[in-house]
Amino acid sequence: MTPSNPDAPHPALTGALMRPLRPATVVSLRPWAGSRLGGDAGEHWVAGPGSEVALPDGRMLTLDALAAEAGAALVGSRGLAMYGARFPLLVKLIDAGDWLSLQVHPSDANARRRHGPDALGKAEAWLVLEADPGAQLVVGPKLGMTGDAVRAAIAAGSMDRPDCEAVPARAGDVFNVEPGTIHAIGAGVFIYEIEQPSDLTYRISDWGRPAVPGRSLHRDEALEAVQPERQAVLAGSQWRMDGGALTAPTFRLELVAPSLAAASRQPAGQTLEVVTALRGEVVLRGDGWTERLGLHETSVVPADVAAYEIGGDALRLAAVGSLP
């Protein structure tokens, strides 16, 4: 499906990538779901490889299929350099009514060894949108616990909350969670998450929930992937990012608070941008187009968009995910 010249989009897409795309949300039902997303929805995948978009020619394509046709016009030169003509990000909203499993994600190298040459690992970042009083996040093994002790607990299936380093969940906090980090999202936490376009998750513990199909534990995989010394790193607080942005090897996350002067953005062929409204209505404006995003709505701005602005009043806030 990849065009012979990845810098040239499919002829049917001419002009279609000069304005934002509105991906359909993929709803993921989870046993630990809260009530913020409705029903049993624990996660909303607001933009990712499997998200569908409507094109002017009447087709519905997943963002991965569109990337295969459009190449750099969608993902930019950085996207092609990182992954080829694949959609390079996954953005989720996660509402935890109960604890998520204690888990670890593989690196790219771990993923390829176990799942084949096209597999990707999973680096991610969390932005806490809301947190109930007393809500917590597990950010790694208990400080002072040796690597041998961590591995032994995983192998025995005995790792539990006393073995974990937990911190208060506070709205506006940002955490960088590198592959190999033991982590868990606690009950009462509402999270914006940006990550590599992979959902490889190795469960270490499901906190005693009854085993059900599709929620098995992955002790061998976790033992191979875990980096016992790693802790999730606080990368910002009070809705501000240390250094202005979280720049990881596989993604970049910024928080944009529009004021009277709109924030100017320039994808300019380098990277797509995924924009999610976190507070109130956010307005995107470009050459001949205007896009309005209500609370938690998301647009994908293709790399072919030379420049655009994010506007709104001082109470508005948007997350912008892109490639480093």
The full DSSP string for 15-37 is TTTSS-B-PPPEEEE-TTB-STT
CA distances from 31 to 43, 92, 94 (A): 11, 17, 12
Work out how many domains the chain is built from and give that number. 1
Task: Assign residue 69 the CATH number of its domain.
Answer: 2.60.120.10
Task: Kindly state whether residue 114 falls inside one of the protein's structural domains.
Answer: yes
Place 261 in a pLDDT band, splitting at 50, 70 and 90.
low
User: What CA dihedral angle connects 181, 49, 187 and 282, to 10 degrees?
Assistant: 120
Place 251 in a pLDDT band, splitting at 50, 70 and 90.
very high
Task: Kindly state whether residue 105 falls inside one of the protein's structural domains.
Answer: yes
Higher-confidence position of 258 and 36: 36
The pLDDT of residue 15 is above 90: no
Measuring CA to CA, which residue among 95, 127, 46, 81 is closest to residue 294?
A: 46
Question: For the sheet containing 184-185, what is the strand order?
Answer: 164-168, 136-141, 184-185
Q: Is 127 within 8 Å of 195 (Cβ atoms)? A: no
In percent, the amount of the chain with pLDDT more than 70 equals 95
Place 1 in a pLDDT band, splitting at 50, 70 and 90.
very low
What long-range pairs does 55-61 form, CB within 8 A, spacing at least 24?
55/12, 55/13, 55/16, 56/15, 56/16, 57/12, 57/13, 57/16, 59/12
> Which residues span the domain enclosing 20?
11-240
The pLDDT assigned to 263 comes to: 84
Residue 280 per-residue DSSP state: S
Task: Kindly state whether residue 271 falls inside one of the protein's structural domains.
Answer: no
The pLDDT tens digits for 73-113 are: 999 999 999 999 999 999 999 999 999 999 999 999 999 99
Place 13 in a pLDDT band, splitting at 50, 70 and 90.
confident
Helix (H) or strand (E) holding 64: helix 63-70
**Residue listed under structure tokens 């004021």:** 259
For residue 64, the one-letter residue type is D
Task: Kindly state whether residue 111 falls inside one of the protein's structural domains.
Answer: yes
Measuring CA to CA, which residue among 2, 234, 251 is closest to residue 118?
A: 2
Task: Kindly state whether residue 16 falls inside one of the protein's structural domains.
Answer: yes
Half-sphere exposure of 122 (CA within 13 A, CB side): 21
The pLDDT tens digits for 174-199 are: 999 999 999 999 999 999 999 999 99
Task: Kindly state whether residue 92 falls inside one of the protein's structural domains.
Answer: yes
The pLDDT assigned to 7 comes to: 56
Task: Kindly state whether residue 137 falls inside one of the protein's structural domains.
Answer: yes
The pLDDT tens digits for 119-169 are: 999 999 999 999 999 999 999 999 999 999 999 999 999 999 999 999 999
38's CB contacts (< 8 A; 6+ apart) are none
Across the chain, mean pLDDT equals 93
The pLDDT assigned to 4 comes to: 46
* Structure token pair of residue 83: 């992954």
Q: Is 198 within 8 Å of 124 (Cβ atoms)? A: no
Beta bridge partners, 96, equal 33, 189
Which of the listed ranges 3-7, 215-219, 256-260 does the model predict with the highest average pLDDT?
A: 215-219
User: Regarding beta strands 102-104 and 41-47, do their DSSP bridges make them parallel or antiparallel, or are they unpaired?
Assistant: unpaired
The pLDDT tens digits for 147-160 are: 999 999 999 999 99
Task: Kindly state whether residue 91 falls inside one of the protein's structural domains.
Answer: yes
Place 2 in a pLDDT band, splitting at 50, 70 and 90.
very low
Distance CA 29, CA 40 (A): 5
The pLDDT of residue 3 is above 60: no
Distance CA 143, CA 176 (A): 18
